[in-house]
Each structure stands twice: as structure tokens, then as C-alpha cells.
Amino acid sequence: MLIGKQVCWGETVAMGTASVNEVSPKGGMSDEDLAVRLRMALFRLSRRLERTRAGAALTSTETTVLSATARRGPVGISEIARSECMNPTLLSRVIGRLEREGLISRHQDASDRRSVNIVVTEAGRRLYDRIRTERSDALSALLAELPPGELAELRSGLSVLESLAERLKEGRQ
């Protein structure tokens, strides 16, 4: 039974199921239970790493837009809306606030004068770097506390998680 859904650019994505304790016929965790638990764990990690002292004045959406702009360089607003699964109207407001704060700027696209790209400013780059460093340091400190066996398990599964992230990204565009 579906307990939640997210709509992204007209695509409905199931967010979980009511039954999270199903056992597969082989014993152990069912594929559905694995998907729910993995999604929940990734969500909790992401939300907890999201909070930083450097980015305390920004909302999570503003931090996402700043980060996407800093990572991609000059980028079109529609590209960020698609890649970050954001409503273009909301995105426009967020960009306006980040621009007023001096963290990003808008520039006319040289190849298409009808289009506008957003670019991170020096102040925005410094803030993005501080946020990224705080998040990486927080996660590194937790990783340093893991027993060697758990750290090895995490290392061996990392490429699978990266592949899943890419496949999800490709499926949404």
C-alpha cells in the first residue's frame, strides 16, 4: 500500500510502502523492504548533513540551488529545475533571494540572448566551500568511528549507491 508519493515534472515516484517488515522467500529482507530502509537511511543522512553553521542563514532549498550552481558553473535556470526536481516558480524566488544576498548572479547566455544563466559569486563560492567542508568533516568524523569491518562494507557498497544515483538521475530527465 502506497503511503506517500512525490511528483517531479509530472512523474509520480513512490516514496514508501506501509509494509516494511516483509521477508523474502529466501529468508532475510525483501527487495521492497530494502528499498524502503535504504531510502529512509539516505534521507536521514542527507537531512542531518544538511545542517551546517556556515549555511545556517539559508534554507535547504537555497543551499541546494547554491550548491548546484557552484558545481555546474554557469547554468540555466531550467536545467537546475530539472536536475534538482524543483518547481520553476519556487526556483525563481530562491534565485532572487540568493541574488539579493550576493551569492549568485544572473547573466545573459552568450549563445542565446533569450536565456539567462546563473553563476555563483565569490561570496557564494566561499560559502559553498565552507558548507561542503563542514558536511565532509562531519561525515569523516563518523566514518573514523566505524569498526574496520563496517568501513570495508561501506566502501564495497559505495559504487552500487553511486550507480543507483546515476540511474535515478537518468530516469528523471
The string of pLDDT tens digits covering residues 110-151 is: 777 778 889 999 999 999 999 999 999 999 999 999 999 999
Output the pLDDT for position 17: 44
In this structure, are 102 and 42 located in the same domain? no
22-67 pLDDT tens trace: 444 555 788 899 999 999 999 898 888 887 888 888 998 999 999 9
159-171 pLDDT tens trace: 999 999 888 877 7
pTM for the model: 0.72
Q: What domain range is 43 assigned to? A: 1-50
In this structure, are 65 and 37 located in the same domain? no
13 Cβ partners below 8 Å, 6+ apart? 5, 6, 7
CA 136 – CA 19 distance, rounded (Å): 34
Output the pLDDT for position 27: 56
In this structure, are 71 and 118 located in the same domain? yes
* Residue 157 resides in a domain: no
In this structure, are 70 and 100 located in the same domain? yes
* Number of domains within the chain: 2
In this structure, are 44 and 92 located in the same domain? no
Output the pLDDT for position 26: 53
Q: What is the CATH number of the domain that holds 119?
A: 1.10.10.10
CA 35 – CA 156 distance, rounded (Å): 18
**Phi, psi at 8, each rounded to 5°:** -130, 110
84-118 pLDDT tens trace: 888 988 999 999 999 999 999 998 877 777 788 89
Please check whether residue 3 is in contact with residue 15, taking contact to mean a CB–CB distance below 8 angstroms: yes
Percent of the residues in the chain that have a pLDDT greater than 90, as a whole number: 52
Q: In whole angstroms, what separates CA 158 from the centre of its chain?
A: 16
